[in-house]
């Protein structure tokens, strides 16, 4: 029995440049529907940037009506302020998805790299090139968008390998 097509939005959360990528997967190879970066200028107050992230992501969710949102998990960060800002951006993403009724799945950065390149220690450039190769894109996305597409593809890959049970949502 073939599994039904699935639409997943991948998110690489950050306060100033959040990558977003939409992937549709089914019996054929996964296809990219849209990708981009939600940008918040450095001069914007922190709360304005968080509100903008929410509003823009809510628009993506409404436009694409995904079955799931996949987000990259936390990683070690030496700068406490950076870690807090990242945590706040992730919180906005999680809240926006929850408000839209979209289940969220989290993948460790090393797991995403492993799924894309075969090595958890892969460089960002390697991941971006593999995203292009897997999806047939005619150009390489920006680093943030490539990371978002990679986490969406990781989710699609995991979903395919564990069908029909599914993965655990956050």
Residues with active-site annotation: 12, 72, 144
CA–CA gap between residue 44 and residue 150 (Å, rounded):
28
Q: How far apart are CA 107 and CA 140, in angstroms?
A: 22
C-alpha 83/C-alpha 68 separation (Å) is 25
Which SS3 state, helix, strand or coil, does residue 96 take? Answer: helix
Any residues with CB less than 8 A from the CB of 150 and at least 6 apart, and which? 10, 21, 112, 113, 115, 116, 127, 128, 130, 131
User: How far apart are alpha carbons 56 and 39 in whole angstroms?
Assistant: 9
H-type alpha helices, the chain: 46-64, 80-99, 109-117, 124-135, 143-162
């Amino acid at each position: 029995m073939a599994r039904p097509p699935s639409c997943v939005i991948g998110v690489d959360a950050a306060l100033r440049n959040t990558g977003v990528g939409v992937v549709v997967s089914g019996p054929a190879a996964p296809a990219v529907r849209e990708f981009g970066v939600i940008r918040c200028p450095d001069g914007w107050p922190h709360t304005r940037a968080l509100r903008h992230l929410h509003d823009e992501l809510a628009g993506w969710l409404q436009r694409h009506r995904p079955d799931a949102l996949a987000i990259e998990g936390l990683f070690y960060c030496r700068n406490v302020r950076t870690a807090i800002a990242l945590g706040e951006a992730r919180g906005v993403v999680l809240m926006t998805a929850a408000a839209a009724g979209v289940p969220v799945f989290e993948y460790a950065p090393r797991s995403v790299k492993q799924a894309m390149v075969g090595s958890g220690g892969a460089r960002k450039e390697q991941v971006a090139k593999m995203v292009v190769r897997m999806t047939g894109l005619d150009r390489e996305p920006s680093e943030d968008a490539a990371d978002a597409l990679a986490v969406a593809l990781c989710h699609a890959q995991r979903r395919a390998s564990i069908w029909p049970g599914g993965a655990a949502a956050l």
